[in-house]
Chains A and B, each alone.
Chain A
Amino acid sequence: MRGMSLIVKTITNIMIGFIFIYGIYIILHGHLTPGGGFAGGVILAGAFILRILAFGSNAGAEKKSEKRSSVFESLGGLMFIGIAIAGLIVAQIFFLNFLPKGTPLHLLSAGIIPLCNIAISIKVGAGLFSIFLALAAVKYVMED
């Protein structure tokens, strides 16, 4: 995929860090403010997509990053199921909130909910990014 003009590249250079930090904020504060793993993961995927659209990349790198994002999506899903099975091991209840709850309105509170948010964000972000790469970026064989 080809890149875009110099204006787009400069603006992307300035903005992409802020978009990334906003996505991570939405994920980590998912149990305190509106947002959560799904929305934050989509924002992270949007930052990656913006980078690909603005700067462009060659087919080999796209193929490689599609493989890597598929691996990350599976890792996020396994992490989510792993948290659920940890509850099964601790007290024989699937998805038990077994960690200490902490004081409300603090960042480290609510037991497994922040960990679940992180797992879902990895899964959703990598999944949407690999869908984008497969549909829009990677060359497929249908053209010939």
Chain B
Amino acid sequence: MIELYLFLIFMTVAAFVATEIKDLLAAVISLGAVGFSVAIMFILVQAPDLAIVQIVVEVVTIIIFVAVIFRTTHVDETIGKKLTGTHILSIVFFSFFALFFLVAVFRALQELPAFGNPTMKVASEYIRLGLPKAGGANLVADVILDFRALDTLGEATVLFTSVIGVAALMRSIGRKK
């Protein structure tokens, strides 16, 4: 458990560095540190499927970020400027709502059962019926492609929508000069 908290602190620091540093390449590298820490945390809580997906997606995402940065600019010009009135107002509003959110989450988390000891009502059915009903030895594949295949279809639609969004942003036909 203690190593999970250590990784959480490391990820928080890396996320602050990613938002506050002036060089965009360094920001992308600290973002990658956050992603790979998530992968290590998945391994620590014994979820190798998610860890593999997290590692490969993180590598491809960092490659796309770095390629875009090499094509455009290295320097984030918004950092280090003087704050205007609207900026200060939005920061005050944001910190008020962040404080409210933290208090609400803290009170909600007090009601949860202990970590690793949930009631396991749905999951125990999946574990019992996975091999006889679906036939796959990997229980995760049984759940996401047999019991919960409709959710996987929705997830595939999310990726399709993101591809459509990128293609619409980067199109050359129909763009006004």
Which residues of A pack against B, CB within 8 Å? 26, 30-36, 38-39, 42-43, 45-46, 49, 53, 70, 73, 77, 80-81, 84, 94-95, 97, 101-102, 104-105, 109-113, 116-117, 120, 123-124, 127-128, 130-132, 134-138, 140-141, 144
Contacts and interface: CB of A to CB of B under 8 A. Distances in A.
Nearest to A43: B56
Interface of B: 48-49, 51-53, 56-57, 59-60, 63-64, 67-68, 71, 131, 133-138, 140-142, 144-146, 149-150, 152-153, 156, 159-160, 162-163, 166-167, 170, 172, 175, 177
Contact of A138 (B57, B134, B162, B170): B170
A80 B156 CA distance: 9
A141 B175 contact: yes
Most chain A CB within a 10 A radius of its CB, from B52, B156, B160, B162: B156
A32 B137 CA distance: 5
Contacts of A73: 160, 163
Given A117-B145, A127-B159, A104 B135 contact: yes
A101 B48 CA distance: 25
B44 to A, nearest CB: 15
Given A46-B60, A70-B167, 20 more contacts: A31-B145, A34-B48, A36-B138, A39-B49, A49-B63, A73-B163, A95-B153, A101-B135, A104-B136, A110-B141, A110-B142, A111-B146, A116-B149, A117-B145, A123-B160, A124-B156, A128-B60, A131-B162, A132-B60, A137-B67
